[in-house]
Amino acid sequence: MNICLFGASSDDIKKEYLSAARRFGEELAERGHTLYFGGGAHGVMGEAARGAASRGGALVGIAPKFFDTDGVLFRGCTDFIFTETMRERKALLEDSADAFAVLPGGIGTYEEFFEVLVLSQLGQMKKPIAIYNVCGCYDALRALLVSTVSGGFMREECLSLCRFCQSSREIFDCFEK
């Protein structure tokens, strides 16, 4: 299964997030899946990539050419695809993935998550979305989504389009069903 990871590119985050990302990558490879990601060498992306690579996993990085500077991209990918723009990158990630895992991240991660959630809500995509709620980092997002439903801005069925998970095992069990 091709699993797309959305997550932080910064190393300036809690060590728990980085450790969880590394374990995610290890388990992904152990279960025989391929990691599709934004190609970053740092943060959650880099740790997940290192975890997958340490277990012999396949990794496909996708990034715009302007990121190809010293130390930005993970050099241990099985394959690397360069795009011209961030939009092209995101489209390739979405098209290549069989499932999406949202790990701890910032505004870019939120944007990627909401894009696939909207596509799912509109019936344009039928791929599972799992949110790895490491140390409660996405409790506020869950509350926001519930509030959006209670405010009448989104149907309650939309909440079932993504699953909040507490472990990488739970994510992969969800994807493999």
Residue-level pLDDT at 139? 98
Residue carrying structure tokens 């795009």: 83
Residue-level pLDDT at 111? 97
Task: Name the CA radius of gyration of the chain, rounded.
Answer: 15
Overall domain count for the chain: 1
Sheet with 58-64, side-by-side order of all strands: 79-83, 58-64, 34-37, 2-6, 99-102, 129-132, 163-165
Note the pTM of the prediction, 2 decimals.
0.96
Of 9, 25, 15, the closest CA to residue 101 belongs to 25
Residue-level pLDDT at 103? 98
CB atoms within 10 A of CB 72: 15
Residue-level pLDDT at 157? 95
Angle, helices 86-96/107-121, rounded to nearest 10 degrees: 50
Q: Report whether 34 contacts 49 (CB < 8 A).
A: no
Q: Report whether 117 contacts 160 (CB < 8 A).
A: no
Q: Spell out the per-residue pLDDT of the chain, length 177, in tens.
A: 999 999 999 999 999 999 999 999 999 999 999 999 999 999 999 999 999 999 999 999 999 999 999 899 999 999 999 999 999 999 999 999 999 999 999 999 999 999 999 999 999 999 999 999 999 999 999 999 999 999 999 999 999 999 999 999 999 999 998
**Residue 99: domain span:** 2-176
Residue-level pLDDT at 150? 97
Residue-level pLDDT at 42? 97
CA angle (17 as vertex; 97, 98 as ends), nearest 5: 10
For the domain that residue 56 is a member of, what is the CATH number?
A: 3.40.50.450
